[in-house]
Every structure is written in structure tokens, then in C-alpha cells.
Amino acid sequence: MSPVDPLAELKLNPAISPATIEHETKRLGLDKPIYVQYIYWAKNFVKGDMGTTTSGELVSTKLKERAGNTLLLSFCVIVATWLVGIPLGVVAALNFKKTADRLILFFATIGMAIPSFFLAVLCLIFAQKTGAFPIGNLTSSNFYSLSFFGKFIDIAHHLVLPVFVLTVISAGSLIRQMRANLLDTLDSDYVKFARAKGLPEHVVIVKHALKNAINPMITLLGFEFAGLLSGAALTEYIFQYPGLGRLILEAVMKSDINLVMASLMIGSFMLVLGNLIADILLKVTDPRIKS
């Protein structure tokens, strides 16, 4: 399908004889029709052999490292959005139509509208001007000489800006969802009953309303993860974060087909897995769901 010729570089090099090119074409199976090539690739992929990149490294080692970094980033962002989103959503719902509610909704709407790459660029300006945060990569150049604790701090320091950008982008919808859910449950009969029973307000909210309002949020977790994989690509690219999104982008630009195919597969796999985990979590937390 791709109009890219993997041997274009060799063909343009006058020092390489046509015989070598023919040999390479045979070796890589490029003389066969496209579906045969695909079957070759799929067979090898299932066996765990993802081929090599154009620069000669094994695709699998490269992917392992990058996918891990993206998972780390996504995990931090999900934790951060929940830590920010849930309390703000609750505060907004409890102050329905008051100043605090309006203010929180206002910031949520703004966060949802900022293009991630624009915010990332603004953060870069900030990092450059103040020098408070390192730019690019996940580790400093002296990473291996640091103590375990120092390594941890170093990675955390590098993660701050990307996590901040992605949290701002994705917390908005979480806040709104949480607010809507809690408003719904506050309106329900069992909350009214709990109040009528004379329970103190904080018990009503924490024990009765909040518990039920958070449940639907767990389904959102899967969606959030899917959105993060996509949204992180641009952010990773701008911050030069060594993640899957940046890997796939670079592979696309270099038309490194093996790498593109494999990272696409891994990305999809992670997405499906994320959704599966969210479903299982929902089953664990909500006893009403039965198979």
C-alpha cells in the first residue's frame, strides 16, 4: 500500500550494483505481491519476531523501552487527572450554580479547548525562560551516576511538564462528568432518604452519594486511556519524550515500515488492554453487573 520504497536509498547510491539490489529485493521478499508480504510479516509477528528497524536495531527492544515510557506517562496522567478531577467535580456539584461551580466549569471548559501542542509549546517557553524544568528525554545525562532516590527524583522532574500538559487537557471532561454524576445521585431517592433519616450531611455525601457517583467514572477510565495514547503523541513529540507516540511519528517520517507496523499493533494492544482492565475494575466495584 505504501508508496515508499524501502530500497530507494540503495538504488540511488551509484556504488551499489544492480545485482546487490536484486539480491536485497529477493531477501526482503519485495518481489512478491503485497498480500504475500503481509502474510510473511504477520507470521513473524505472531512468532514474536518484529523484524529490524532501518537503522538495524531490533524492533522489539526499541518498542519495549518506548511502550514502557508511554505507560509510565499515561499512568501518571491518569492518577493526576483523578486527583484533580474528582475533588473539583465534587466541589462543583456541591456548590451547584454558585461561584465555585461556575469558576471550576470555566476552567474545565478552557482546559478542554486548548490544543495540546499549543499548551506544550507554551510550557516549553516557560521551561526555557525559568530553567526550572529540564527539556527533552526522560533522564538527565548524569542519570546512571545517581543514587536510586536521585534517579527517582530525576525521572519525576522530567515528567512534570508532560504530565501537566496532558492533565490540563484531560481533566476538563473528568470534572464535568463527575459533577454531572454527583448531581444525578444527589437528586436520587436514596440520598433524600438518607437525609430524611437525619444523617449528617458529610456522611450522606461521602457514604451514599459519592460511592455511587464514582462508579460510572471507571468506565471512563478506558476511554481516557484511549484518548491519552492519541493525545500523548503530540506532547511526546514536542517535549522530545521517548515514548511510543514519538517513536511512531519518527518511524513514519523515516518510513520505517517494520517499526510503524509493530508500534501500531502495540498501541492497539495497549488500548484494548486498557479497556479490558476498566471493564474488570467496574465489575469488581459494582456488584450489580453480572455476566
Partner 1 sequence: MKELLKRIYRDKITLCATIVLVALYIAILFADFLAIYPENFSDRKLSYAPPSNIYVIDMEGKLSKPYTYNYVKSFDSKTLNITFKEDKSQKHYINFFKDGKLISTDSDGRLFLLGTDINGRDNYSRLLYGGQISLTIGFLALFVSFPLGLMYGGISGYFGGKTDLVMMRVAEAIMSIPSFYLLIILASILPSSMTSAQRFALIVVILAFIGWAGFARVVRGMVLSIKNEDYVKSAKILGASDFRIIWKHILPQTSSYVIVAITLSVPSYILAESGLSFLGLGIQQPDASWGNMLKEAQEFTNIISRPWLLAPGGLIFIAVLSFNLLGDTIRDYLDPKGKLS
Which residues would be at the binding site for partner 1 (CB under 8 A)? 1-3, 109-110, 112-118, 121-122, 124-125, 128-129, 180, 226, 229-231, 233-234, 237-238, 245, 248-249, 252-253, 255, 260, 263-264, 267-268, 271-272
**Helices and strands (DSSP H and E) totals, the chain:** 12, 0
Task: Say whether 52 sits in a helix, a strand or coil.
Answer: strand
Q: What is the CA radius of gyration of the chain?
A: 25
Alpha-carbon gap, residue 266 to 67, rounded angstroms: 8
Closest CA to 177 of 89, 274, 102: 89
Nearer to partner 1, 194 or 262 (CB): 262
Q: Are 143 and 154 in contact (CB under 8 A)?
A: yes
Cell numbers standing for residue 149: 532516590
b/e burial code for range 122-134 (CB count within 10 A of at least 16 → b): ebbeebeeeeebb
* Shortest spacing between CB 275 and partner 1, in angstroms: 8
Annotate 99-168 with three-state secondary structure.
HHHHHHHHHHHHHHHCCHHHHHHHHHHHHHHHCCCCCCCCCCCCHHHCCHHHHHHHHHHHHHHHHHHHHH
* Shortest spacing between CB 201 and partner 1, in angstroms: 25
Alpha-carbon gap, residue 83 to 77, rounded angstroms: 10
* Shortest spacing between CB 55 and partner 1, in angstroms: 18
Nearer to partner 1, 85 or 111 (CB): 111
* Shortest spacing between CB 280 and partner 1, in angstroms: 17
* Shortest spacing between CB 110 and partner 1, in angstroms: 7
* Shortest spacing between CB 272 and partner 1, in angstroms: 5
Backbone angles phi, psi at 52, to 5 degrees: -115, 160
Task: Say whether 256 sits in a helix, a strand or coil.
Answer: coil
* Shortest spacing between CB 24 and partner 1, in angstroms: 23
Closest CA to 244 of 57, 67, 59: 67
